[in-house]
């Protein structure tokens, strides 16, 4: 898998934004709004964690795919592209996680 898979998924999600919610799950999510989209991201994240704790590799893979899909819907809803996220990851590449976290502005 490459980043292009995420880009293609994201483009498909964007193309379904205005589709009929009766025939498109993606359109239905957009119609339900940010709160529901974010809730689905959380649900899929929890399901991924549960599968990981159970050491169920195939279930982790399946739930991870669901999580990535819902995360892409959340990005689209928020006006964020995969390229925005990849750019941030590239900036962090080669930087210690502790150093990167310590360099973030304090909230």
Does the pLDDT of residue 92 top 60, yes or no?
Answer: yes
Q: What is the pTM of this model?
A: 0.87
The mean pLDDT of 20-34, rounded to a whole number, is: 98
Q: Give the CA angle between residues 58, 43, 45 to the nearest 5°.
A: 55
Does the pLDDT of residue 105 top 70, yes or no?
Answer: yes
Does the pLDDT of residue 58 top 60, yes or no?
Answer: yes
On the CB side of 101, CA atoms within 13 Å amount to 3
Number of neighbouring beta carbons within 10 Å of residue 52: 14
Cβ neighbours for 79, distance < 8 A, ≥ 6 positions apart: none
Q: How confident is the model at residue 44 (pLDDT cuts 50, 70, 90)?
A: very high
> Is the CATH number 1.10.287.1080 carried by domain 3-82?
yes
- CA 15 to CA 12: how far, in whole Å? 5
Q: Higher model confidence: residue 3 or residue 10? A: 10
């Amino acid at each position: 898998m490459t980043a292009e898979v995420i880009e293609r998924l994201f483009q498909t999600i964007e193309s379904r934004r205005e589709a009929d919610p009766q025939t498109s799950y993606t359109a239905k999510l957009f119609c339900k709004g940010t709160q529901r989209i974010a809730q689905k991201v959380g649900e899929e994240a929890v399901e991924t964690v549960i599968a990981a704790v159970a050491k169920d590799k195939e279930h982790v893979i399946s739930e991870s795919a669901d999580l990535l899909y819902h995360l892409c819907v959340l990005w689209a809803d928020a006006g964020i592209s995969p390229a925005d996220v990849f750019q941030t990851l590239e900036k962090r590449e080669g930087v210690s996680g502790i150093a990167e976290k310590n360099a973030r502005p304090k909230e």
